Amino acid sequence: MDGGLKLQHILPALQYVVPVLAPERHKGQAGKVAVIGGCREYTGAPYFFAISALKMGADLAHIFCTAGAATVIKSYSPEIIVHPVLHESYDTGELGGKERVDVKDKVMGEVSKWLERFDCIVIGPGLGRDSLLLDCVAEIIVKAKSLNIPLVLDGDGLFLITKEPELVIGYPFATLTPNVTEHKRLVAKILGEKNNEAPGNWREVSDEDLPGQLQALAKKMGGVTIVQKGKTDYISDGKTVVSSDYFGSPRRCGGQGDVLSGCTACFVSWARDFWSKADSEGRKICSNPTMVSALAGSLLCRKAAANAFAQHKRSTVTGNIIECLGHRLTLCILFPFVAILCTVWINFSHFDYPAHPQIHAWKEST
């Protein structure tokens, strides 16, 4: 970052990451996002992702799912575009080698014609662990990378990455959002295989020094951004670790991780577009827009969860949190939240501004 950057320069840069609402803008300019997920067993997770992205302000949200999930998901909302193009073994039965290749080619043909339209793709919510389905998704990831499309991986997408980490290692536009157990599995897989002192069994991975552990993991994975979800969300790209510990809600209803994926995907698409401009102030804030996006997504979700819990207490469900997203985006991101983010990045540049009490940053050891 530019050591001479002033606070008044950062504030407009971060405010402008969120697209303006103006009469001359057209459909799609505020974000086109998609999720690869949804099978006959899991239909809620991809819906939570898509509706969260729409409530955040994305213009279009697509779901690529199996035929067994499509009708159910379509019944949830007419706002979401649903593509029943994925296949799982339950539908196809046992396939020979050539038949399996034919199915994968068919899936890729259906998905590929849409990929270039998306600003960000989320892999995993409601995906399931069917081997045929995961093989298809692995090829979708490879294709998306070839087009430089940002990826957010959650849920069963992380299960796939733990098995085949080479799919995202070294890809700068990948964001992983593991919970504590998923994080430990990644640590055991990535660090355990490359370091004799690291545990090879995820159950033996220590809970101590999560920031240092996360930074080592992100660095070993070639600079992907990782959001380790928990009581405190730790975020790292291998160079820096930032934490988000604003208290959201004590209610741990299912689906909140899918909301985080939707929020993060929106911020990734917006930030990347802003960073890509030749005169972008974004590059002066941070060279990695996915770090800003991950932090923004985490804090927004926590604020929305706090609002929902204040209203509904023990009966809070994920739908209540989703309904709070738009309001919190306006209040927190466009106004005071900008100052919080600025404080974080300013601290990275050794400015003397006081750190926000709910944000902490660690620098890479030298």
- Residue 328 among known ligand-binding residues: no
- Residue 252 among known ligand-binding residues: yes
- Residue 253 among known ligand-binding residues: yes
Strands 60-66 and 81-86: parallel
- Residue 209 among known ligand-binding residues: no
- Residue 363 among known ligand-binding residues: no
- Residue 102 among known ligand-binding residues: no
Residue 159: which residues within 8 A CB-CB, separation 6 or more?
Answer: 124, 129, 134, 182
Q: What are phi and psi of 86, to 5 degrees?
A: -80, 155
Containing 82, the helix (H) or strand (E) segment is strand 81-86
Contact assessment for residue 282 and residue 13, using Cβ atoms and an 8 Å cutoff: yes
- Residue 248 among known ligand-binding residues: yes
- Residue 104 among known ligand-binding residues: no
- Residue 105 among known ligand-binding residues: no
- Residue 113 among known ligand-binding residues: no
- Residue 196 among known ligand-binding residues: no
- Residue 6 among known ligand-binding residues: no
Contact assessment for residue 348 and residue 239, using Cβ atoms and an 8 Å cutoff: no
- Residue 350 among known ligand-binding residues: no
- Residue 15 among known ligand-binding residues: no
- Residue 230 among known ligand-binding residues: yes
- Residue 126 among known ligand-binding residues: yes
- Residue 254 among known ligand-binding residues: yes
- Residue 314 among known ligand-binding residues: no
- Residue 273 among known ligand-binding residues: no
Residue 272: which residues within 8 A CB-CB, separation 6 or more?
Answer: 119, 120, 150, 173, 289
Alpha-carbon distances, residue 176 vs 134, 151, 158, 328 (angstroms): 17, 8, 7, 24
- Residue 25 among known ligand-binding residues: no
**How far, in Å, CA of 229 to CA of 216, rounded?**
16
**How far, in Å, CA of 223 to CA of 216, rounded?**
10
H helix runs in the chain, sequence order: 7-15, 44-56, 67-76, 89-92, 97-115, 131-146, 156-163, 180-194, 210-220, 256-275, 282-285, 289-312, 318-323, 325-328, 336-348
- Residue 129 among known ligand-binding residues: no
Strands 120-123 and 60-66: unpaired
- Residue 303 among known ligand-binding residues: no
- Beta-sheet strand order (sheet of 240-244): 81-86, 60-66, 32-36, 120-123, 151-153, 174-176, 225-228, 233-236, 240-244, 359-363
- Residue 282 among known ligand-binding residues: no
- Residue 215 among known ligand-binding residues: no
Binding residues for (6S)-NADPHX, as ranges, are 126, 179-185, 258
Binding residues, as ranges, are 126, 179-185, 229-233, 248-258
Binding residues for ATP, as ranges, are 229-233, 248-257
